[in-house]
């Protein structure tokens, strides 16, 4: 298995992994209470959001792909997992990672209209009032206190390949990128993902109550020698 940059042709496979991975997640099922009745609406919206992540400024996607010799090898390379990392900040390093082509700006603009139309007229799987509650509850302070950082925006591993270290390898890949710049790495963890992140050295720096019985957490990892920022940011 190797990790490589995510490309446009990977989006259908990544969308399928997203649907399989999160369909039973506690937060996901709360945000999309009608997903069983309108699965096509959910898949369509997921595709639009993934396409947006691909052209979002500072966003960089990576996939874990099978290769010959792997236990998961089926005779051809397959996407087994993925991760989107976002570089934030205004420093010289951020300018490099956040550089984009004009075509990306245009596509992002067009996708913003697609998302608006989807949310207003087509999407029947989600509950927009719950989406607003979630957004308001997860405006974590840490993001305003870190001048420059990497953020793990989304991580997914195919259910048939879970507990084989693929998620850990994708997280470690992002940690290496952050460590090369001596920057912290943040994320917001689902209930099922927190154990992995704690195991990988992340610490919970903020918690929020979304609704009764459903909480969100912001987590932070820092490379060696940078362990003062979490104290300053919390």
List pLDDT tens digits, range 15-63: 999 999 998 899 999 999 999 999 999 999 999 999 999 999 999 999 9
Beta strands in 58-193 (DSSP E): 59-65, 79-88, 149-157, 185-189
Q: Dihedral sign, CA of 129, 45, 185, 90?
A: negative
* Residue 154 and residue 187 in contact, taking contact as beta carbons nearer than 8 Å: no
List domains and CATH numbers for the chain. 2-233 (3.40.630.30)
* Residue 15 and residue 27 in contact, taking contact as beta carbons nearer than 8 Å: no
pLDDT given for residue 191 in this prediction: 76
pLDDT given for residue 23 in this prediction: 87
3-class DSSP state of 181: coil
pLDDT given for residue 11 in this prediction: 97
- Looking at 70-127, list the stretches that DSSP marks H as alpha helix, in order from N- to C-terminal side: 92-97, 102-117
The residue written with tokens 């195919």 in the block is 158
Terminal alpha carbon distance of the chain: 37
Helix (H) or strand (E) holding 4: strand 2-5
């Amino acid at each position: 298995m190797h990790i490589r940059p995510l490309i446009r042709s990977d989006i259908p496979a990544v969308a399928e992994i997203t649907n399989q991975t999160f369909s039973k997640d506690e937060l996901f099922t709360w945000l999309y209470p009608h997903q069983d009745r309108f699965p096509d609406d959910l898949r369509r919206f997921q595709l639009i959001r993934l396409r947006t992540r691909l052209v979002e400024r500072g966003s960089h996607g990576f996939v874990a792909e099978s290769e010959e010799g792997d236990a998961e090898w089926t005779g051809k390379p397959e996407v087994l997992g993925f991760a989107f990392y976002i570089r934030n900040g205004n420093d010289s390093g951020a300018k490099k990672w956040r550089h984009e082509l004009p075509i990306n700006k245009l596509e992002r603009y067009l996708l913003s209209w697609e998302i608006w139309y989807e949310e207003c007229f087509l999407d029947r799987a989600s509950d927009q009032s719950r989406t607003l509650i979630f957004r308001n509850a997860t405006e974590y302070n840490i993001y305003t206190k870190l001048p420059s950082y990497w953020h793990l925006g989304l991580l997914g591993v195919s259910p048939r390949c879970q507990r084989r270290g693929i998620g850990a390898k994708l997280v470690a890949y992002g940690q290496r990128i952050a460590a090369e710049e001596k920057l912290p790495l943040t994320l917001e963890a689902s209930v099922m993902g927190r154990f992995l992140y704690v195991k990988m050295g992340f610490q919970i720096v903020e918690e929020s109550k979304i609704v009764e019985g459903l909480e969100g957490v912001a987590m932070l990892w820092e490379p060696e020698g940078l362990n003062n920022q979490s104290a300053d940011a919390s």
